[in-house]
Amino acid sequence: MQTKKRNIALEYCNAYKEKVRPIFRQFEPYRQKLFEEYKKQLRLRYWLPGVIFVISIILFITYINNYDDDYSYIISALTAIASFLYLLYGLCIFPKFKSKYSHKFTNTLKSNALPKLLQVFGDIKWVGHDASQESEISSYQLPENVLEELKKENIDDEIINEILDDSKKSAKYTIKDSELDKSGLFVNYNTRYTDDEFSGTYKDVHFKISETKMYDIHGSGKNRTCICAFEGVILSFHFNKQINARTVVATKGDFTKKNQALCNTLIYGGCFINLFKDGYSHTKLITLCIIFLGIYLVSKFLEKTSSEEALEEVMLEDPRFSNRFNVYSSDQVEARYLVTPAFMKKFYNLKTAFGAKKLKCSFIGNTLMIAITTKKNLFEIGSLNTSLDNQQSIKEFYNELSSVFRIIDYLKLNEKLCISD
Amino acid sequence: MHIDGQIIQIIVGVIVVAWLYQTYVSLIKKKNKVQEAFAAVDVQLKKRYDLLPNILTMAKKFMEHEKSLIEEVTSLRTQYTNLANNFDNIDEKISLSNKIAEKMGSLNVAVENYPQLKSDETMIMAMQSYNDVEEHIAAARRFYNSAVNDLKNAVEIFPSSIFASLCNIKAVDFFKINEAERKPVNASDFLK
């Protein structure tokens, strides 16, 4: 086992030296040129207006005390305002401006060099997302035979259109939206962005990796609210074994039930404060009781009529694990079959190269999905502002990808689903 | 701000009644949870006993020297299947289950001495299924013990202990592992 690990590391080093380094050397002049262009744009867009702004402010302060000159201080004030507004606009679009250069470079570099590095790990494919791929998605269509079959079965056009829409939305992702919905790990999001995605097989375990950001966006213009629901990496592993119930393991405070409880407390608290801010009256108290009762009954009714199976908290015997994680499942026995004392120990100690703080996982059907919350930009092999001779990113990329394989080995996902000692 | 005393009394009264009812409901739920958990154990044990005939038939073919052991397992299985399917004979069921687990453990060790049986495809499949069911039994047992622990706490801790004695709700025993599983493993026994 140890020899095999060493061999992969050695093969990776050789692949880098023999196949990737020559590509990097070819790319280095391109990177330098692009970086120079980026710096030039940076100077023009940010440094120059910044300097003009500072000079205008100094001139304004100087002229405002000089009563002989009527117009100079007005001109300097206008210049300062104009340069400040330009600077402000520039700061607003800075992330877009930066990613325009860095994404262009890293995606070109990855599409040339990554396949050569991934060959070492076996059957793994990389998918990077950029603007050009978005256009492919809009023209995505279901295969003709699938469409014909749907029509043969007398399925309404409306339903076919819905399926088509869902396919268009999901076509760009390695891990489909429907898979995420099924896992039950992510509820409060309506917009999803992915960066690097991988799919492949390791020791007969089919896996998918997706670097994902999820947002819950509502309203438009001034009323637009954007809440980051998840930022990190999602790992999906497929088994041959079928799991009947759904089981979710999540870091405390990182699952919908808890968030829902907090939300309810805020709603009830808000109602209470609003109603009694102008003083107490019996009518207000009765109104409040009716509101609370109404909310309670409606939520109970929705819970009963909801098509989703209800998840019940699973109380486990390991106090260290229970202090850090909550486990919910629709089947208490199957939850304990999956989350064995050995699994609890291993999941608790799961240290990955992702710099993770929060972990959650879900067992459903034949899939184990792990969501790792991290702000780190993962799976990068080079950056615009660092020389391609620097091997740090190459080392980090190896650590990040091999840590996915370590999860498979560590949890023995290739052997059997039930993790035993 | 003037608050009518009667309204406060009514609110306090409603809260006290709601709390009493909630405590009672919680106790009954815990008691039912134990029964549900035991039913889950029972389902898994049933699966185990459904698998046993296959394994025993295979074993009979090859293991001539282990006849008494096979007969013992068969007899214990018959005793278990003859037990009524209810919560009253829980201790008897646990005891029988532990005895069968012990005998099956011995049978597993004995299989090691019969290479032909050990390598038989049907036997391998049957043993894999058996091990899978054993893991499910272990999970069901943990669920049962967790439910029993909850009930024990409710029955023994004040103030729910008062309700428990009023409603005649009693704590039940944990599903303990058998003595054979408790014993330390002597590796030299397997290396003879």
Q: What is the pLDDT of residues A405-421, one digit of tens each?
A: 888 887 777 766 555 55
Mean pLDDT of B59-77: 76
Determine contact, residues A317/A334, Cβ cutoff 8 Å: no
Give contacts of A 232-261 with B, CB under 8 A.
none
If phi > 0 it is left, if psi is from -120 to 50 it is alpha, else beta; for residue A373 that is beta
Residue A209: per-residue pLDDT: 92
Average pLDDT, chain A: 76
Residue B9: per-residue pLDDT: 85
Residue A324 clears pLDDT 80, i.e. is over it: yes
Q: Is the dihedral of CA A106, A8, A345, B43 positive or negative?
A: positive
Query: Is B34 an 8 Å CB contact of chain A?
Result: no
Residue A320 clears pLDDT 80, i.e. is over it: yes
For the ranges A198-212, A214-228, A280-294, B111-125, the one whose mean pLDDT is highest: A198-212
Q: How confident is the model at residue A303 (pLDDT cuts 50, 70, 90)?
A: low
Q: What is the distance in angstroms between the Cα of B122 and the nearest Cα belonging to chain A?
A: 19
The answer to whether A337 contacts B135, with C-beta atoms less than 8 Å apart, is yes
Residue A134: per-residue pLDDT: 36
Provide the ipTM: 0.75
The answer to whether B136 contacts A315, with C-beta atoms less than 8 Å apart, is no
Residue B190 clears pLDDT 70, i.e. is over it: no
The answer to whether B139 contacts A316, with C-beta atoms less than 8 Å apart, is no
Of B7, B135, B136, the CB nearest to A282: B7
Average pLDDT, chain B: 79
Q: List own/partner pairs for A8-11 with CB under 8 A and 24 or more apart.
A: A8/A120, A8/A121, A8/A402, A9/A398, A11/A120
pLDDT in tens, A339-394: 888 888 888 877 666 667 788 899 888 889 999 888 888 888 888 888 888 888 88
Q: How confident is the model at residue B191 (pLDDT cuts 50, 70, 90)?
A: very low
For the ranges A33-37, A207-211, B67-71, the one whose mean pLDDT is highest: A207-211
Residue B108 clears pLDDT 60, i.e. is over it: yes
The answer to whether A337 contacts B7, with C-beta atoms less than 8 Å apart, is no
Give the whole-angstrom CA distance, residue B33 versus residue A331.
13
Nearest to B132 by CA among B142, B140, B121: B140
Least confident of A164-178, B87-101, B131-145: A164-178
Give the whole-angstrom CA distance, residue A307 versus residue A184.
13
Sort out which chain A residues have CB atoms less than 8 A from B139's CB and list them. 333-337, 340
- Report the share of chain A in percent with pLDDT over 90: 3
Q: How confident is the model at residue B178 (pLDDT cuts 50, 70, 90)?
A: low
Q: How confident is the model at residue B182 (pLDDT cuts 50, 70, 90)?
A: low
Identify the residue among A336, A412, A415 best suited for mutation to test binding to B, counting B beta carbons within 10 A and taking the highest.
A336
pTM across the whole model: 0.69
The answer to whether B136 contacts A279, with C-beta atoms less than 8 Å apart, is no
